[in-house]
Every structure is written in C-alpha cells, then in structure tokens.
C-alpha cells in the first residue's frame, strides 16, 4: 500500500489528471503537490525574473498559487486534503531530489509546454527523465 505520493503539477490538463488519479486510486495515501517555478528557458526569463525579487520564496509561492488553487479544487471535489511544496529551478531535478521521501511519483504525460520542440530539445522531457531516473516507482497519467 502506498502511504506517500508526490504529484508534480503545472497548469496542464495532464497534471490535473495525475492528481485526480492519485486521489481517487489511493484514498489512504498522503498526497503532496509539487510546483516548480523558475523553469529554465533559452533566455532564462522566469528564473531571472524570480532571482530579481527581494524575497525569492515569496515570489515563488505567488507564482505557484494558481496551480495550488487548482490542486485544492480537485482535492476538495474528492473530500481530500493535500500538502503543497514549491520548488525553484529545474523541474526534473526538483522531483528527483525529493523522490526518496515518497513511495511513488504520479505525474502527467506532458506538461504545459510539451508542444514547444525547442524547449523539449533544450530541457528534455521531464516525464521521461523522472521515469528513467527516479529511485521509486513512477506512474504516468495521460
């Protein structure tokens, strides 16, 4: 039985489905939603913008709030509670750095930027990277 599940989320439909899957199929598990901000890009725009803030933690939390609002809605619809964590930096690295604290990772097949070929080439597919390198089982939800 799974007791702790990590669900990385962005604003994508696949991420929402991953959270729905975790909550519905593992009703006894504690579910933690991770949103990573400061995603690397060709110009490092978001990461640079965050680094210029006076309070990085506060800026990251503000940036993550819309994702957490959606996650709380999904959890509330199922009568469940979730924990929330904000990460800063590369999404795959953030997920993998936390993986050993959980029994499994449930993530969407594609994130919000999956159609951007240039971004995928430069950053790599987060789902693929996590699936190959995670020290715990990974469930990929379409």
- Identify the structural domains of the chain with CATH numbers, from first to last: 4-141 (3.40.50.620)
* Burial annotation 83-95 (CB, 10 A radius, 16+ → b, else e): ebebbbbbbbbbb
Report the percentage of the chain scoring pLDDT > 90. Answer: 66
Cβ atoms within 10 Å of 52's Cβ, excluding its own:
9
* C-alpha dist (Å) from residue 68 to 32, 56, 63, 84: 11, 18, 10, 7
What proportion of the chain, given as a percentage, has pLDDT over 70? 79
Rounded-to-integer distance, Cα 46 and Cα 69, Å: 20
Give the whole-angstrom CA distance, residue 125 versus residue 106: 15
Per-residue confidence (pLDDT) for residue 82, from 0 to 100: 98
Nearest to 19 by CA among 81, 62, 96: 81
CB 107 within 8 A of CB 130: yes
CA angle 57, 63, 20 (to 5 degrees): 110
- Report the predicted TM-score, pTM, of the whole model to 2 decimal places: 0.85
Residue 112: pLDDT band with limits 50, 70, 90: low
Q: What is the per-residue pLDDT for 59?
A: 84
What is the predicted pLDDT for the residue at 111? 65
Task: Please give the sequence-ordered ranges of beta strands (E in DSSP) within the chain, or none if there are none.
Answer: 4-8, 30-37, 83-88, 104-108, 138-141
Residues 63-110 have pLDDT tens digits of: 899 999 999 999 999 999 999 999 988 899 999 999 999 999 999 987
């Amino acid at each position: 039985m799974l007791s702790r599940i990590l669900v990385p989320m962005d604003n994508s439909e696949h991420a929402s489905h991953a959270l729905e899957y975790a909550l519905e199929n593992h009703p006894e598990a504690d579910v933690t939603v991770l949103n990573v901000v400061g995603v690397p890009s060709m110009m490092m725009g978001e990461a640079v913008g965050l680094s210029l803030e006076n309070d990085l933690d506060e800026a990251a939390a503000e940036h993550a709030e819309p994702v957490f609002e959606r996650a709380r809605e999904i959890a509330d619809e199922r009568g469940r509670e979730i924990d929330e964590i904000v990460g800063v930096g590369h999404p795959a690295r953030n997920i993998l750095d936390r993986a050993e604290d959980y029994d499994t990772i449930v993530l969407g097949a594609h994130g919000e930027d999956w159609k951007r070929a240039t971004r995928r080439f430069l950053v790599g597919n987060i789902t693929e990277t996590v699936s190959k390198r995670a020290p715990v089982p990974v469930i990929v939800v379409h």
